[in-house]
Amino acid sequence: MFTTRAAREESYKAEVRRTHALLKPIQIEAAAIFYPTLFEVDPSTKPLFKDVDMEKQGAKLMKVIGVAVMMLDKMDQFKPMLVKLGKKHVTYGVTDDMYPSVVSALLITLEKGLGEECHQLTKDAWAWVMNSIAAVCIAAAREDTGAPAGEKKLPIEKNTAAAAVAVAVAVAVGVLVLWK
């Protein structure tokens, strides 16, 4: 389908933009789908959102995703932010095995929210973006904690409500990290 890596990445960016435009009118509903889906996919994430107003959290999530989509062609500017985010996640109680759950929850949200407009390319594009983010965040967290590459869980402090922000930001920033 793609002749070069650059062609694939441009196609993915175009698909993320296209589908984000379709999500904008239903962003409240999409946020309402995402969080329960995340908690179903990975129940260990639910305590991270204790005492958080999920309606407000969903609105923040959608707003940040919108900004991120506008910045798809300026990804180098965001990698340092993701490195910091990955390091912060450790202190909030986020483990590296939660990142695939976030990706899965987002893909399910896209399928439910977009219906027939969610194609394989849509899933591939968003998964590419989200997995790119996970790779940066996990690498930064491991570097900061000294965890070996094969270790599934990072040393963490007690889960706190602040982790809700960390996980939501990781998802929201998901469209920010398409590096070269």
Query: Tens digits of per-residue pLDDT, 35-54?
Result: 999 999 999 999 988 888 99
- As a whole-number percent, the residues of the chain with pLDDT over 70 amount to 77
Looking at residue 95, its pLDDT comes to: 86
Q: Identify the pLDDT of residue 149.
A: 47
What domains does the chain contain, in order, with CATH numbers?
A: 5-176 (1.10.490.10)
What is the torsional sign of CA 52, 58, 63, 69?
positive
Is the pLDDT at 113 greater than 90, yes or no?
yes
Burial of residue 59, with CB atoms counted within 10 A of its CB: 0-12 exposed, 13-18 middle, 19 or more buried: middle
Report angle CA 75, 177, 67 to the nearest 5 degrees: 75
Please, are residues 40 and 86 in contact by the beta-carbon 8 Å criterion?
Answer: no
DSSP helix/strand/coil, 150: coil
For the chain, what's the residue count? 180
Residue 84 — pLDDT band, cuts 50, 70, 90?
confident
Distance between CA 145 and CA 143 in Å, rounded? 6
Q: What is the pLDDT at residue 9?
A: 92
- As a whole number of angstroms, the distance between CA 135 and CA 114 comes to 26
In 3D, which of 100, 121, 73, 87 has the Cα closest to residue 171? 100
CA distance 94 to 38: 14
Q: What percent of the chain has pLDDT over 90?
A: 39
Q: Is the pLDDT of residue 156 over 60?
A: no
Asked whether 48 and 93 are in contact (CB, 8 A), the reply is yes
Averaged pLDDT score across all residues of the chain? 79
What's the pTM value of the predicted model, to 2 decimals? 0.77
Decide which of 70 and 167 is more confident.
Answer: 70
Read off the pLDDT band of 178 (50, 70, 90). very low
DSSP alpha helices (H): ranges in 42-98? Answer: 54-70, 79-92
Higher pLDDT, 114 or 62: 114
* pLDDT at site 137: 84
- Amino acid of residue 115: G
Each residue's pLDDT tens digit, 124-142: 999 988 887 788 888 988 8
